[in-house]
Amino acid sequence: MLDILEEEGADPSKVMIGHVFIFPQFHQLEALCARGAMLQVDHVGIPWMHDNVEELDEQLAVLICRLADCDYLGNIVFSYDRFFSHGRGPITAEEPDQENTRVPLGWLFDSFVPRLKKKGFGAAELEQVLVDNPHRILSF
């Protein structure tokens, strides 16, 4: 996708890519950041495609910290897939996970931010991913 956008003249630093942390491979995340793309962390608190929320949130936190250690904190934004009860499709025996997980409104700050803080994320890092990076990519 990024190749096509660049071929058409898009500035990779203005491209935000979502859902890249669901089944991530670190080298791919790193390569996207090296090209300037913004990575959207968008499944905090939602165990979709994982056994539980603890597993996914821990994976997200570790990857975010690894990217920050590689100097790619400027390529990360947090979004928030905050579902109420909107299903993605009919719930069937073959597709039992079609109902979206209801994530408490405060999950990002009540659960995920403390997890990041335990890994060394401080106020400056949070300010960058929550304020500075979105401001940079969303300014027109």
What does the pLDDT look like over 79-120, one tens digit per residue? 876 555 555 566 677 766 655 567 777 889 999 999 999 999
Could you tell me if residue 1 is inside a domain? no
Task: Look at the block and give the residue holding tokens 């073959």.
Answer: 94
The percent of residues above 90 in pLDDT, for the chain, comes to 61
Residue range of the domain that includes 16: 12-138
Residues 74, 53: Cα–Cα separation, whole Å: 26
120 in any annotated domain: yes
Residue 17 is assigned to a structural domain of this protein:
yes
On whether residue 82 sits in a domain, the answer given is: yes
- pLDDT for 99 equals 56
**Can you tell me the distance from the alpha carbon of 65 to that of 45, in angstroms, rounded to the nearest whole number?**
17
Segments in the chain below pLDDT 70? 81-91, 95-101
Is 134 a domain residue?
A: yes
State whether residue 16 is helix, strand or coil: strand
The enclosing domain of 30 has a CATH number of: 3.20.20.140
Within a domain: residue 76?
yes
Determine the Cα–Cα distance for residues 16 and 129; give it in Å rounded to an integer: 13
Sign, Cα dihedral of 67, 73, 75, 79:
positive
Strand, helix or coil for residue 15: coil
pLDDT at 72: 98
Full-model pTM: 0.85
In a domain, 52, yes or no: yes
